[in-house]
């Protein structure tokens, strides 16, 4: 089995009937050079910038950030890299910026924190834009967006950073036009599900964070053992929400990928493909398993599987159907 997986490492992912699915990796450390070379990996679908922030004793300077981002963008030159702006708060803490709250997952997290501290946001965006000057493969992604106002405010700051960097580089005799990054949002807070159509014209892409979407839709803390059994991305409620996002983003013409854990789960990847997603981003260790099940699946059958799953009432019923399909394809 392992040999078979290795043999297929360089083929792009397709279902048995030829339906193409683009696979991307989730990253955050910057040691992924070996993956950049592999043809079947089409880029980084989620670069979690908070990891390098968490490993330091103070906020990294603009120049330190620029060097780090430049390294990642350079390794993946020619392929898109989706860099998410700082997503701390909740369970992710910076040792030098402690946040004490009663309900951290409902509190000062992700974009909420950085919009309250535009100096942190602007430094990061400027570093990203500078890092992108030679490779032009940067996509900026905003975490924990819960309403349109946050997108508008972020766009305003990104524009400001872009103008500042352009001006600075012009003064330094950099002749070429600074590339404008694509900007997108994470779909992971349920409230934005009801404003999806209003994203049109404001963002270039979006990506579903199934980890937080599951946690917030089911009101189950991802990290609380007492309720862990209730946390399940196979819950029909979660799957119906994801299907709605697929349909609405398709209707308004905004490309939508999935970068939460569900995309790297073989059964989850099958369901997402059946819903119409063609871009999945996952941890590297799941890539070949996902590619293998997709290769064995038929896209029309996956659509039927999804229809069946959406009508289920419990996660175990969905899992039963998915496992039965996997057993049948061998
Ligand atoms: C998610 O919420 O699904 C996600 C990809 O982001 P994180 O796990 O970093 O919160
Ligand atoms: Mg998240």
ipTM: 0.99
For atom 6 of ligand 1, the residue with the nearest CA is: 209
Return the ∠ at Cα 75 (arms to 188 and 29), rounded to 5°: 50
Task: Say how many Å lie between the CA of residue 172 and the centre of ligand 1.
Answer: 38
Q: Would you state the pLDDT for residue 228? A: 94
Ligand 1: atom nearest CA of 188 is 2
Residues with CB under 5 A from ligand 2 (ion): 188, 209, 212
Is there an atom of ligand 1 within 6 Å of 259 CB?
A: yes
For atom 10 of ligand 1, the residue with the nearest CA is: 212
CB of 253 within 8 A of CB of 246?
Answer: no
Rounded CA-CA distance 214/220 in Å is 8
Backbone angles phi, psi at 300, to 5 degrees: -70, -40
Is there an atom of ligand 1 within 6 Å of 28 CB?
A: no
Ligand 1: atom nearest CA of 50 is 9
Comparing C-alpha atoms, which of 240, 243, 309 is closest to residue 277? 243
pLDDT in tens, 99-134: 999 999 999 999 999 999 999 999 999 999 999 999
pLDDT in tens, 156-175: 999 999 999 999 999 998 88
Task: Say how many Å lie between the CA of residue 260 and the centre of ligand 1.
Answer: 5
Task: Say how many Å lie between the CA of residue 292 and the centre of ligand 2.
Answer: 27
Q: Would you state the pLDDT for residue 4? A: 55
Three-state secondary structure of the chain: CHHHHHHCCCCCEECCCCCEEEEEEEECCCCCHHHHCCCCCCCEEEEECHHHHHCCCCCCCHHHHHHHHHHHHHHCCCCCEEEECCCCECCECECCECCCCCCHHHCCCHHHHHHHCHHHHHHHHHHHHHHCCCCCCEEEEECCCCCHHHHHHHHHHHHHHHHHHHHHHHHCCCCCCCCCCEEEEEECCHHHHHHHHHHCCCCCEEEECHHHHHHHHHCCCCCCHHHHHHCCCCCHHHHHHHHHHHHHHHHHCCCEEECCHHHHCHHHHHHHHHHCCCEEEECHHHHHHHHHHHHHCCHHHHHHHHHHHHCCCCHHHHHHHHHHHHHHHC
Is there an atom of ligand 1 within 6 Å of 315 CB?
A: no
Return the ∠ at Cα 205 (arms to 200 and 211), rounded to 5°: 115
Q: Would you state the pLDDT for residue 309? A: 98
Please give the chain's pLDDT, 330 residues, in tens: 555 555 566 688 999 999 999 999 999 876 677 888 888 999 999 999 999 999 999 999 999 999 999 999 999 999 999 999 999 999 899 999 999 999 999 999 999 999 999 999 999 999 999 999 999 999 999 999 999 999 999 999 999 999 999 999 999 988 889 999 999 999 999 999 999 999 999 999 999 999 999 999 999 998 899 999 999 999 999 999 999 999 999 999 999 999 999 999 999 999 999 999 999 999 999 999 999 999 999 999 999 999 999 999 999 999 999 999 999 987
Ligand 1: atom nearest CA of 209 is 3
Q: Would you state the pLDDT for residue 111? A: 98
Ligand 1: atom nearest CA of 207 is 5
Is there an atom of ligand 1 within 6 Å of 42 CB?
A: no
Task: Say how many Å lie between the CA of residue 196 and the centre of ligand 1.
Answer: 19
Task: Say how many Å lie between the CA of residue 211 and the centre of ligand 1.
Answer: 5
Q: How many CB atoms lie within 10 A of CB 139?
A: 22
Ligand 1: atom nearest CA of 210 is 3
């Amino acid at each position: 089995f392992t040999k078979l997986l290795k043999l297929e490492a360089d083929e792009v992912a397709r279902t048995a009937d030829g339906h193409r699915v683009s696979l991307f990796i989730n990253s955050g450390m910057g040691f992924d050079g070996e993956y950049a070379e592999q043809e079947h990996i089409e880029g980084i679908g989620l670069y979690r910038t908070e990891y390098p922030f968490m490993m330091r004793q103070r906020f990294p300077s603009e120049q330190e950030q620029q060097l780090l981002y430049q390294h990642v963008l350079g390794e993946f030159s020619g392929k898109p890299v989706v860099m998410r702006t700082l997503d701390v708060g909740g369970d992710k803490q910076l040792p030098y910026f402690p946040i004490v709250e009663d309900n951290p997952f409902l509190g000062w997290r992700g974009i909420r924190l950085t919009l309250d501290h535009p100096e942190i946001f602007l430094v990061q965006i400027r570093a990203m834009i500078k890092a992108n000057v030679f490779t032009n493969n940067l996509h900026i992604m905003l975490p924990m967006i819960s309403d349109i106002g946050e997108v508008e405010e972020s766009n305003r700051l990104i524009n400001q950073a872009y103008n500042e960097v352009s001006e600075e580089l012009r003064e330094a005799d950099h002749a070429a036009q600074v590339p404008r990054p694509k900007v997108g949002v994470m779909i992971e807070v349920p409230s934005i599900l009801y404003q999806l159509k209003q994203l049109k014209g404001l963002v270039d892409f979006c990506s579903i964070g199934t980890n937080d979407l599951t946690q917030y839709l089911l009101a189950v803390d991802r990290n609380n053992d007492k309720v862990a059994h209730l946390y399940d991305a196979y819950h029909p409620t979660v799957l119906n929400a994801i299907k709605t996002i697929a349909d609405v983003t398709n209707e308004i013409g905004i490309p939508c990928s999935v970068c939460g854990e569900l995309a790297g789960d073989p059964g989850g990847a099958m369901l997402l493909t059946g819903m119409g997603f063609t871009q999945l981003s996952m941890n590297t260790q799941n890539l070949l398993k996902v590619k293998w099940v997709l290769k064995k699946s038929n896209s029309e059958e996956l659509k039927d599987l999804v229809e069946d799953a959406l009508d289920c009432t419990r996660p175990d019923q969905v899992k039963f159907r998915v496992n039965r399909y996997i057993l049948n394809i061998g």
